[in-house]
Each structure stands twice: as C-alpha cells, then as structure tokens.
Amino acid sequence: MGIVIRQSLLSSAASYLGVVIGFVNAVILMPKFMTPDQIGLFRTLLSAALLLSNFGRFGVNSGLVRFKSLLKHPQTELNSLYGLGILIVFLSTLFFLIILIIFRSSWSDFYADKSPQVNDYFILLIVLTLELIVFQFLQTLASIHKNIFSANLLKDLVYKCLNMGGILLFAISVISFHTFIILHVCFYVILITLLFFESLYKYKIKISFKPLPPKIARELIYYCGTLFISGLALSFLNLADQQLVSRYLGLEASGIYMTAIFMVMVIEIPRRFIGEISAPIISEAFGSGNLVSINEHYKKTSINLFLLGGLIYVLIIINLDNIYAIMPKGQIYEAGRNVVILVGLAKLINLLFSLNDGIISMSKYYRFNMLLTLFLGLLMIGSDIILIPKYGLIGAAAALLGVFTLHGLSKLILLKMTYNFFPFTTKTILAALTILGLLLINCFIPLLINPFIDIMVRSGLILMLFSFSIYKLKLSFEINQMINGLAKKLNINL
C-alpha cells in the first residue's frame, strides 16, 4: 500500500488545491461574469469532447496496463507493446473522425432545437477530442510506471489555473467568449507538451513498431475492443445526462445542472487516484495468483474511500445554503440544489463499491464488465430520455442515482460469486451511521448570519466530530495511523 498511499496523497493534495481553484472558477467567477447559457455551452463542449475521446482511445489505456504484466520478455517486448498501442489509437481515431464527419448533420440535429450554439464549435470539438486522446495515452504511460502525480498535477491544478486566467481575461473584456473557448485548445497543447516530456523523457520510454508475438497482439486487440465498448458505455453513464440536459432543456438549464455536478465531483477525486495507481498492482496480483492481497486491498480501499467521500459529502450538504448565498446569481443556480444532493449521493455510493471496475477489468471476467456496463449505459440514456423532459433536472439526477446504484451492486455480486471478494465489514455499517449522524447533528446547529463565518464554524465542528468518531470506533487503520502521527508531532496524548 506504500506506493498507493504516497502517490494518491500527492495527487490528492494537488487536486484538492485544484478543487479550490476550480470552485472559485465554477462557483464564483463564471456565474459572476458569464451567463448560464455561456456556462452551459462551455461545459457541454468539454463534456462532449470527453465522451467522444473514448472512440479514439479504443480501450488501449487499460489494455497496456493489463498486458504489461503478461509479457514474457518485458525488456524487449514493452516498447513494441507501446508501439502497437499507438497504432491502435491512430487507426481508431482515424475511423472515428471519418464517421463523425459523415454523420455531422445528425450530430447537428441533436442540438438544433434547444442548444444550436453547440454546432458552431464542431471543429473545435474535434480538436479538443484529439487532444484528450493524446493526453490520456501519455497519462497511461506515466501510470504504468506508477507515476500518477504529474498527469493529475497538470490536469487538476495547472489546467484550472490556466482556465482561471482565461476567465479573468474575459471578465476584463480583453478577450471575447468565443476566444475564451478557443484558448482551451492552447491550454491542452501546453499540458500535452509537458506530459510528453514527463512520460517519455523522464522514464526514457522508447517506442518500437516491431511486431509482438501474434498471440499477444490478437489478445490485446480483442481485449481493447471489449474495453472500448465497456469504456464507451461507462462514459454514457457519466456524461449522457449532461448532453441530454442540453438537448431537452437548453444551455441555461445545462449551466445550472453542470454547476451543481461540479460541486460534488470533488467527492470522487480520491477514487480516481487510487484506481489509477492500483490498476498495475491489481494486474500484477492477478498475474501471480495472489487473490488474497486483492481482497484485502479491496476492503481497505472501500472503507477509506467511503469515509473520506462521506466527510466531503456531508460538508457540501450542510453548507449548501452558504454556498448559494456567496455565489453570484445564487438565486438562479439554487435550482440545482436537489441535483447536488442526489448526484452527491450517487458519487458516495460509487466510492462505497471501491475498485469494482478496476478489479473486473483486470480479471478474466472483463467481458461481463462490457456487457453489464453497456446495458447500464443504454439504461441511463433511456432513463434520461424519459425523465428529463418530464421532471427536468431532478429527473436527470434521479436517473443517475438509480443507475449508478445498480451498477455498483451488479459488479459487487459478480466479484462475490467468482472470487469471493467482498469489500464490506461491520465497519461499513458504522461508517454509514456516522455519516448519517453528522447530517442529523447539523440540523441542530443554528444558522449564523454571515455565510463565511457559518461555513468555518459549521465545517470545523462537523470535522472534529467526524475525526473523533472514526478514531474511537477504529474504522480505518490508515486514518488512525495518520491521526496518531499528527498527534505525536503536536505532542498531544490521545
């Protein structure tokens, strides 16, 4: 766990600093200087680029991680593995671009009714998609060498600093909103350049197009194809609601919805980091047949993520009134209050199921991951199509909560039935009761007049109660170790 914790803590520190900057961007600066329509357009384009980038990646990122541990001669075959990965990504991206251009009219029709402005940025959308494909491939190379810090530093901190600069330039009328969007192409060029040197130069990664043994090549392509479908469906789970809100409710509603989504995205940050650095470790454990270590890692990750995510969820929910009070035009964005509650709960449930996706993707049952995720992705789209026109933003949030819960439960059952992996213990129940208890206690804390003071007092009190509870209940060995270490440095007897 040493490298997992070290890399995850470094990435988490950079990302939570990025969260502060991102919060200022999304909750203060953008609502103050941009209209909900403009925010909705910007977020829709970024969300669409993330969704479309799955077509170019073709599951190669996970494929490289998995097959690295299966190579019989890694010193000579690893460079060829990278080369085959690049070739697959290139061909997949080329095919995707041809199809997208052929069906451009259908793409335009999707947004034509409520969000026609999206179609003005079709070329920019393609460029952003290509940039994301390259960036994520380089991120995979760094992850294979158990380095997730640099890519996440660029993505979660440097990018948000650049974004803040763009917003401020727009605010003082140095650039137009159109130029602000175009700037993001330049931002990703900077990120890709920095990560290129980090991934290839620092680790002296070499690329070779010398053919791999035919058996490995065939298995890799088949595995990537399977993961492609699974990854695409997973993107539908995460991003379809955002696109369909723009489709059915318009860009103003999309701006409100995505601002609410942003507030709770912070809950999942630790899971992403631990998942990235755990992937090669899980793959190696499967390769050596060490299933016991995977199950132990599964349990530890579940309780730690649930506790950390639960604390963040509670802090968000108890401060919603304060957040909307300090947010410019908060009375407009308060329409997304229930979205924050429901989607935040969905993110927390996702943390509870820990490394479900990562473990299944690295196991021999990865095909089940594809079939289930494809089914749930289609279920998400169907639920959104039914619920969004009828119930608006609440319909989108409710669909996400329901499908994500079913997603986690289904994969939990598979891992229990196949490997007897199970992440929950009595500590999980105690953790859930602790989180619920904190929400109830908050109801008895009077609301102070000044929202900034109320945030500090309310959050500080809840944080102390949370820390005391999990320490005394011994819910997490790792968290207790951190508290003991901090207390020792401060000469405090616990």
Do the beta carbons of residue 57 and residue 231 sit within 8 Å? yes
Q: Provide the token pair at 13.
A: 């520190």
Inside any domain, residue 391:
yes
Q: What element of type H or E holds 165?
A: helix 159-171
Inside any domain, residue 207:
yes
Inside any domain, residue 182:
yes
Residue 294: what pLDDT?
A: 86
| Residue where the block lists tokens 């080329």 | 94
pLDDT level of residue 2 (50, 70, 90 thresholds): very low
Inside any domain, residue 165:
yes
Residue 437: what pLDDT?
A: 94
What's the mean per-residue pLDDT of the chain?
85
Residue 276: what pLDDT?
A: 62
Inside any domain, residue 442:
no
DSSP 9-28: HHHHHHHHHHHHHHHIIIII
Inside any domain, residue 457:
no
Do the beta carbons of residue 172 and residue 33 sit within 8 Å? no
Residue 397 has pLDDT above 70, yes or no: yes
Residue 10: what pLDDT?
A: 61
Inside any domain, residue 439:
no
Measure Cα distances from 303 to 144, 272, 327, 428 in Å. 26, 15, 33, 6
pLDDT level of residue 148 (50, 70, 90 thresholds): low
Question: In terms of residue numbers, what domain contains 40?
Answer: 2-424
- Using CA atoms, how far apart are residues 324 and 340, in angstroms rounded to an integer? 12
Can you tell me the mean pLDDT for 379-398?
A: 94
- Using CA atoms, how far apart are residues 266 and 485, in angstroms rounded to an integer? 26
- Using CA atoms, how far apart are residues 254 and 332, in angstroms rounded to an integer? 12
User: Residue 252: which of 465, 484, 30, 41 has the closest Cα?
Assistant: 41
Can you tell me the mean pLDDT for 327-338?
A: 92
Residue 313 has pLDDT above 90, yes or no: yes
73-91, pLDDT tens digit by residue?
666 677 788 888 888 889 8
CB atoms within 10 A of CB 52: 23
Inside any domain, residue 58:
yes
Can you tell me the mean pLDDT for 268-297?
A: 76
**Threshold 0.85, pTM exceeds:** no
Q: Give how many domains the chain has, as a whole number.
A: 1
173-223, pLDDT tens digit by residue?
999 999 999 998 899 999 999 888 876 666 677 777 888 778 878 888 887
Residue 1 has pLDDT above 50, yes or no: no
